[in-house]
Amino acid sequence: MTDLLARIGHFGVFAGRVAWRVVTPPWNFGDFFRHAWIVSLRCLGPVIAVTFPFGMVIGLQGLAIFNMFGAQRLLPSLISVAVLRELSPVLASVLVAAQAGSSYAAELGSMRIKEELDATEIMAVDSLRWHVAPRVAALILACPILNTLGDVAGLAGGYTMSVLIKGEPGGVFMANLWGFTHAEDLLAGLIKTSIFGAIIGLIACYHGFYTTGGAAGVGRAVNDTVVRATLTFFAANYIITSAMFA
């Protein structure tokens, strides 16, 4: 128990030091934009490939239920609420954790094992400011962008299933798409994914930055990053959703 509390405290101090460097100059804009571009580019395809069929599944299952009550016109609202509030933010963040989170842990872990981080610190270069802060800030930016594209893909999947496959009227679908959806739902997804991006970035960089044990240690850091980041932002998702919509 004591060891667990010590590790949580150590991570909290690390997160605070990184957060301070994210919001105060000097900023490493070159690495920030480079990492944000790479993450967005790498995760774009997987996010669309996952959210589109999930939107189709919601359309398929929802239509089967609403048909029982003659309430098919409510299906578009179900799809939009599910996709914007929960589906796209969570799925996009899972894929970012798997892609970018594991990559950051491996990169920083390799730099630690090869003593590159030690060398920069010996030269009085702030490793947290130049190697960690740009990565965390990049995920804070990239996750909402990917979430927005996932929103579009998920809604397109629901439209494809409901209108193009099941033959529901397209005009009725579009007219009822925003029946129970408001700007706050889109904003909630953006806020969620910004927080999730920060969580993923901090956990990934923490495990990479403090890697020990050679190549095996890098592997452990990658595994711990994906598992712990995913569990943490799932818990955070419940808290944020309860605070915003309960």
Three-state secondary structure call for residue 45? helix
* Residue among 16, 222, 126 nearest 117 (CA): 126
**For residues 150 and 92, what is the distance between their CA atoms, to the nearest angstrom?**
7
User: What pLDDT does 42 receive?
Assistant: 94
CA distances from 187 to 13, 39, 148, 183, 213 (A): 30, 22, 10, 6, 42
User: Peptide bond preceding 26: is omega within 30 degrees of 0, i.e. cis?
Assistant: yes
User: What pLDDT does 2 receive?
Assistant: 80
User: What pLDDT does 60 receive?
Assistant: 94
69 CB neighbour count, 10 Å cutoff: 8
Cα four-point dihedral sign 217, 223, 226, 230: negative
| DSSP letter for each residue of 86-143 | IIHHHHHHHHHIIIIIHHHHHHHHHHHHTTHHHHHHHTT--HIIIIIHHHHHHHHHHH
**For residues 127 and 20, what is the distance between their CA atoms, to the nearest angstrom?**
13
User: What pLDDT does 147 receive?
Assistant: 96
User: What pLDDT does 54 receive?
Assistant: 95
What is the reported pTM? 0.93
Length of the chain: 246
User: What pLDDT does 227 receive?
Assistant: 94
User: What pLDDT does 151 receive?
Assistant: 96
User: What pLDDT does 47 receive?
Assistant: 96
Three-state secondary structure call for residue 15? helix
- Those residues of the chain that have pLDDT short of 50 are none
74: which DSSP letter? G
